[in-house]
Amino acid sequence: MEKNINITVKVWRQNGPKEKGRFESFKLNNISTDNSFLEMLDILNEQLINDNKEPVAFDHDCREGICGMCSLYINGHPHGPDDDVTTCQLHMRKFKDGQTITIEPWRSTAFPVIKDLIVDRRAFDKIIAAGGYVSVSTGGVPDANSIPIAKVDADEAMDSASCIGCGACVAACKNGSAMLFVSAKVSHLAMLPQGRVEAARRAKAMVAKMDELGFGNCTNTGACEVECPKNISLSNIARLNREFLSAKFQD
């Protein structure tokens, strides 16, 4: 049911990667609880522009929880207090009248801040480029039904493949590890016969790239799984460890 609340937002402002950042606070009145969190930021920015100030820069695009672009650290949680949603699907009904909401960018060595709440996540692309694919080119592939795949395997691969690459796992991890992201892709492809062929090579290459890019180590705290908006399971990390170890044994 619709009602309105008054809130204070404490937002991280930073002009560029090498600039010093700071918090700025703004009061917002009469925010409808039916608004999404990003619509609340739209209202804030409209207010700032009308006051001749610079609006807050934040990443967003599809606003339906699938593109993985939005990336806000809200009151100490990646994507905020609600479960299983991205920031764009978080609604103001999850907040109370009079509340102060702290908004920060993802904080990780591998994701440098570009401006305000926007970070550079190209490191994820580099990890995929290192081996997160099946090495087939366009054309000349067998008929889609020539290899049957057990439904349970296809379903499980789909669950791993539903990672949106937002980086919440990295932001949630005290070590800044990308293990959940990497393991989801390694698992997705290793569970299907098409990806099985180069599973060992893939696991090694992606882990090596992750280490090279400055992501931290996994110490199994499980924070990534808790904060993942798409419920990517920790069991993916166990599978990655198995794939990685067996690949090393083969060396």
Partner 1 sequence: MSKINARIPEGPLAQKWTNYKDHQKLVNPSNKRKLDVIIIGTGLAGASAAASLGEMGFNVKNFTIQDSPRRAHSIAAQGGINAAKNYPNDGDSVFRLFYDTIKGGDYRAREANVHRLAEVSNDIIDQCVAQGVPFAREYGGLLDNRSFGGAQVSRTFYAKGQTGQQLLLGAYQALMRQVELGSVTMHTRTELVDIVIVDGKARGIIARDLVTGELHRHFAHAVVLATGGYGNTFFLSTNAMGSNGSAIIKAYHKGAMFANPCYVQIHPTCIPVHGEFQSKLTLMSESLRNDGRIWVPKKKEDAEAIRAGKKKPSQLSEEERDYYLERRYPTYGNLVPRDVASRAAKERCDAGFGVGATGLAVYLDFKSSIDRLGQKTIEERYGNLFQMYEKIVDENPYETPMMIYPAIHYVMGGLWVDYELQTNIQGLFCCGEANFSDHGANRLGASALMQGLADGYFVLPYTIQNYLADDIATKRMTTNEPEFAEAENAVKARFEKLKNIKGNRSVDSFHKEFGLVMWDFVGMSRNKKGLQEAIEKIAAIKKEFWTNVRIPGNLTGMNIELEKASRLADFIEIGDLIARDALGREESCGGHFREEYQTPEGEALRQDDKFAYVSCWEFKGNDVAPELHKEELIYESVKMVQRNYK
Among positions 87-126, residues that touch partner 1 (CB under 8 A) are 89, 91, 93, 114-115, 118, 120-122, 124-125
By CB under 8 A, is residue 227 in contact with partner 1?
no
Least gap, CB of 42 to partner 1 (angstroms):
6
Regarding 233 and contact with partner 1 (CB under 8 A), the answer is: no
Q: Which residues contact 204 (CB under 8 A, 6 or more apart)?
A: 131, 244, 247, 248
Shortest CB 74 distance to partner 1, Å: 15
How many angstroms separate the CA atoms of 121 and 110, rounded? 8
Per-residue binding string, partner 1, 175-194, x by CB under 8 A, is -------------xx--x-x
Indicate the SS3 state at residue 78.
Answer: strand
Place of tokens 């009079």: 98
Print burial letters for 167-188: b (CB count within 10 Å at least 16), e (below 16).
bbbbbbbeebbbbbbbbbbbbb
Q: How far is the CB of 122 from partner 1 (least distance, A)?
A: 6
- Please tell me the total number of residues recorded for the chain in this structure: 251
Q: What three-state secondary structure class fits 245?
A: helix
Contact segment (CB under 8 A) with partner 1 among 85-93, 173-181, 210-218, 234-242 equals 85-93
> Under the criterion CB under 8 A, does residue 10 sit at the interface with partner 1?
no
234 is an interface residue for partner 1 by CB under 8 A: no
DSSP SS3 for 119: strand
Which one of 3, 22, 25, 141 is in contact with partner 1 (CB under 8 A)? 141
